[in-house]
Amino acid sequence: MPITYESRRKHIQRFLTLSSLSLPLFWFPIVQLIIQQEFQMGSRLIISLDRTQWKNNNVLVIAVIYQKRAIPIYWKMLEKKGSTNLGEQQAVIKPVLRLLKNYELVILGDREFHGVELSYWLKTQKSPQKIYFIFRQKQGTYLKKHKGKYQKLSDLGVTPGTKIFLSNIHITKNKGFGRFNLAAYCQRQYSQKIEKEPWFLLTNLDNLEEVIKNYRHRMGIERSRRHSASEQCLKIVKPGVIILKVVKLILTALPT
Enumerate the domain spans of the chain: 5-204+211-252
| pLDDT given for residue 227 in this prediction | 39
Burial class (CB in 10 A: 0-12, 13-18, 19+), 109: buried
DSSP characters over the chain: -PPPHHHHHHHHHHHHT-TT--HHHHHHHHHHHHHHHHS-TT-EEEEEEEEEEETTEEEEEEEEEETTEEEEEEEEEESSSS---HHHHHHHHHHHHHHTTTSEEEEEE-GGG--HHHHHHHHT---SS-EEEEEE--TT-EEE-TT--EEEGGGG---TT-EEEEEEEEESS--SS--EEEEEE----SSTTS-SSPEEEEES---HHHHHHHHHHHHHHHHHHHH-HHHHHHHHHHHHHHHHHHHHHHHHTS--
State the Cα–Cα distance between residues 248 and 235, nearest whole angstrom: 21
State the Cα–Cα distance between residues 49 and 93, nearest whole angstrom: 8
| pLDDT given for residue 117 in this prediction | 96
| pLDDT given for residue 2 in this prediction | 58
Q: Give the pTM.
A: 0.79
Residue 94: C-alpha distances to residues 37, 144, 152, 166, 189 (Å): 23, 30, 32, 29, 39
Contact 110, 89 (CB under 8 A): no
- 86-99 vs 116-123: helix crossing angle, rounded to 10: 30
Ranges of the chain with pLDDT below 50: 1, 223-256
State the Cα–Cα distance between residues 11 and 18, nearest whole angstrom: 11
Range 5-204+211-252 has CATH code 3.40.50: no
Burial class (CB in 10 A: 0-12, 13-18, 19+), 84: buried
| pLDDT given for residue 247 in this prediction | 44
State the Cα–Cα distance between residues 41 and 185, nearest whole angstrom: 32
| pLDDT given for residue 192 in this prediction | 60
| pLDDT given for residue 244 in this prediction | 46
| pLDDT given for residue 129 in this prediction | 86
